[in-house]
Structure 1
Amino acid sequence: MTATASPIDSDAALGTPLLSVEGLTIDLPGHPGQRGLVEDVSFDLHRKRSLALIGESGCGKSLTSMAILGLLPPGLPVRAGSVRFDGVDLLDCDERDLRRVRGGPVGIVFQEPMSSLNPTMTVGDQIAEARRIHLGERKATALRAAEALLDRVGIPNARQRIRSYPHELSGGMQQRVMIAAAIACDPKLVIADEPTTALDVTIQAEILELLRDLRRDLDLAVLLVTHDLGVVADFCDDVVVMYAGHVVERTSVRGLFYEPRHPYSSALLAAVPQAGQPRTRLTVIPGRVPPAGRFPAGCRFQPRCEHALPDQCARPQPEAELSGGHRTRCGRVAAGAVTLKGVPRG
């Protein structure tokens, strides 16, 4: 696993972010002393770039991505923050305005296409529906565009496949249909939530290659939600590491792999099996992500952290900016008291 993405560019060089999330906080109902199921999440995604939200299951990645488009489950209110897309705060939009954004300028690829695709509609009709709603096309015109989109995402015999139902397609082909639907209306941003989950390794590689080609050809920005660090190294420019609802590190992909600045990030890298090292014991992170409502005070990772000091880590950990735009939520690392290991170079 080698990080090949370029170092993070300055905000000035990249211009105004296409997507800017600031201080996003989602309440946890029924736990007045534990507000902040997701708390103070901030990051920027610039045009034509890809950014990964990473962390273990239960860290708030999918909640964050769903909050961007107002798709949170009932009873999970956004208490604070802003989500500005192309200059518009989506948190101030009503449902009617959000429907104009979803599937239009922002495409979505969910992690389980069989659960997301409508089993009663052909895949052609489902792709065409987005163009009919957002572009006002007639059905015949939209179906011709759907056929071209299926061909664009690598589905053979697209003319016949537009009349197929989801259950008639393999998992990899279903995911390609989801991607075709996501790009149907020429979006500026695609949010992909675990797009390669449950696919075999060969199909995963094909889907990532497809997303890479589409990103280049269509000038897309991609927000990728994943727990697969190999995917991050291969596909993304920048990365946001989340743990128990907090952003603990923000940096370029190269910065994460070679110079992690939070103990959780370093522990994630250490837990990845390394090629060329057979018969070695796999490193694990002790314990588990705390459940919602039972977050520890201060640094939420401290009960699992080998570098934790109770008197320091039990206090709130503000985000600190280091060199090159690298940000960490670890006071000990920011003060230079802890040195972390990344992936060996070479």
Structure 2
Amino acid sequence: MSSDTGLDADPTATAEPLLVVDGLTIDLAGEVAQRGILADVSFTVAHGESVALIGESGCGKTMTAMAVLGLLPRGFTVAAGQIRLDGRDLLTSSQRQLRAVRGRSIGAVFQEPMSSLDPTMRVGDQIAEARRLHLGESRRTALARAVELLDRVGIANAARRLHSYPHELSGGMQQRAMIASAIACDPALVLADEPTTALDVTIQAEILELLRELRREQGIAVLLVTHDLGVVADFCDRVVAMYAGTVVERAGVDELFADPRHPYTRALLDAVPQAGDPRTILPVIPGRVPAAGRFPGGCRFEPRCAHGGDPRCLAPQHETAVAARRTIRCARGADGDAVAVPGARGLTAAP
């Protein structure tokens, strides 16, 4: 197990970060048992900070988020590691204790609000339910607070929308209602899993601005699961790049976008279309993410890497600190060798 605090945390700070994921390893039990579906995943989220988990589909981003929430699918078990929220070990908590954490200390916003909102309940009742359960408020008091929350997330005529069912709201309004539900009990952390993917670009910008305001005004930390690097550059403080169930690079958003150190991170940035660059062939990463149980014995990215074949890549890779608050899982990068992909252009983080 690798300790993460010294790598990500501010060395001048004495308090532990809000969320610490340290050496998280997840196995799949049963007839098709697979070990190391997630392997040695480590990162932190400080109070009020926004951290992104990025990578292609199948890289373990959502699995990591579900582990934080204590909602792993049946058959998946945590084989090693720790998850601590404000000093509390979530992996040793009972289901009753986890239910008290979810909604109270951690709010969740998912990609498809219609899959998360109960179609048989009015929106106001769904928001009020969290306050009644966790804060012990009466229905009348909780509904009054629900109106305030709907108004806070930018839903017009909040008192009227309180009585709407989810299908009576637009996609953007549904997502705003999900955010209102997620922040109903003033959580310290909001876990947002692809919260803007199903929305058009105008609504995406509005949702991101709403989350930014909540961070600024209420000090909420955000763990953002996304494959949209434009959103990451615009919204996040730090980035955790994942590939095939492992963390391959961790860095501040400015550092990572300016100088990605891992070949996979470099390839991800290079594959993003750039404005003002017409008639340019868009680079792609060859191959695909390996299925669980078919991971290479050495570097999991080696078969797709532009530098594949290096003997150093055939051995298991370990996460190495290459600068303050920055790590990579690449023997070449740790040795100081170039990891540039031919034609790499990169993105620029928002000022």
Task: Give me the TM-score of the superposition, normalised by structure 1.
Answer: 0.95
Classify the secondary structure of the residue corresponding to 2:324.
Answer: helix
| Equivalent residues in 2 for 1:306-325, closer than 5 Å | 306-325=306-325
CA–CA separation in structure 1 for the residues paired with 2:116 and 2:268: 30
Which residue matches 1:226? 226
Q: Match for 2:346 among 322, 330, 343?
A: 343
Q: What is the Cα deviation at residue 31 of structure 1?
A: 5.1
Q: What is the Cα deviation at residue 69 of structure 1?
A: 1.5
Q: What is the Cα deviation at residue 12 of structure 1?
A: 2.5
Classify the secondary structure of the residue corresponding to 1:128.
Answer: helix
CA–CA separation in structure 2 for the residues paired with 1:177 and 1:313: 47
Q: Which amino acid aligns with 1:12?
A: T
Contact 1:260 1:342 in 2 (8 A): no
Classify the secondary structure of the residue corresponding to 1:210.
Answer: helix
Contact 1:18 1:86 in 2 (8 A): yes
Which residue matches 1:258? 258
CA–CA separation in structure 2 for the residues paired with 1:14 and 1:72: 32
Which residue matches 2:4? none
Q: Over residues 313-344 of structure 1, what are the superposed CA-to-partner deviations in whole Å (9 max), with x where a residue is unaligned? A: 11001111012221000000110122435637
Q: Over residues 54-100 of structure 1, what are the superposed CA-to-partner deviations in whole Å (9 max), with x where a residue is unaligned? A: 00000000000000121011111111110000000000001000011
| Equivalent residues in 2 for 1:260-339, closer than 5 Å | 260-339=260-339
CA 177–227 in structure 1, closer or farther in 2 if over 3 Å, else same: same
CA 345–64 in structure 1, closer or farther in 2 if over 3 Å, else same: closer
| Equivalent residues in 2 for 1:106-185, closer than 5 Å | 106-185=106-185
Which residue matches 1:43? 43
Aligned length: 338
CA–CA separation in structure 1 for the residues paired with 2:314 and 2:100: 44
**Structure with more relative contact order (C-alpha pairs < 8 Å, separation 6 or more):** 1
Which residue matches 1:3? none
Structure 1: gaps (5+ residues): 1-7
Task: Give me the TM-score of the superposition, normalised by structure 2.
Answer: 0.93
Contact 1:258 1:342 in 2 (8 A): no
Which residue matches 2:5? none
CA–CA separation in structure 2 for the residues paired with 1:260 and 1:14: 29
Contact 1:19 1:85 in 2 (8 A): yes
CA–CA separation in structure 1 for the residues paired with 2:329 and 2:59: 15
Contact 2:257 2:348 in 1 (8 A): no
CA–CA separation in structure 1 for the residues paired with 2:348 and 2:152: 37
CA 219–37 in structure 1, closer or farther in 2 if over 3 Å, else same: same
Contact 1:192 1:224 in 2 (8 A): yes
Q: What is the Cα deviation at residue 111 of structure 1?
A: 1.1
Query: How much is the aligned-residue C-alpha RMSD, in angstroms?
Result: 1.5
Structure 2: gaps (5+ residues): 1-7
CA–CA separation in structure 2 for the residues paired with 1:9 and 1:26: 24
Which residue matches 2:91? 91
CA–CA separation in structure 1 for the residues paired with 2:221 and 2:229: 19
Contact 2:307 2:339 in 1 (8 A): no
CA 240–71 in structure 1, closer or farther in 2 if over 3 Å, else same: same
CA–CA separation in structure 1 for the residues paired with 2:98 and 2:241: 27
Larger displacement relative to structure 2 (38-47 or 301-310)? 301-310
CA–CA separation in structure 2 for the residues paired with 1:314 and 1:169: 52
Q: Which amino acid aligns with 2:204?
A: Q
Classify the secondary structure of the residue corresponding to 1:172.
Answer: helix
CA 327–14 in structure 1, closer or farther in 2 if over 3 Å, else same: farther
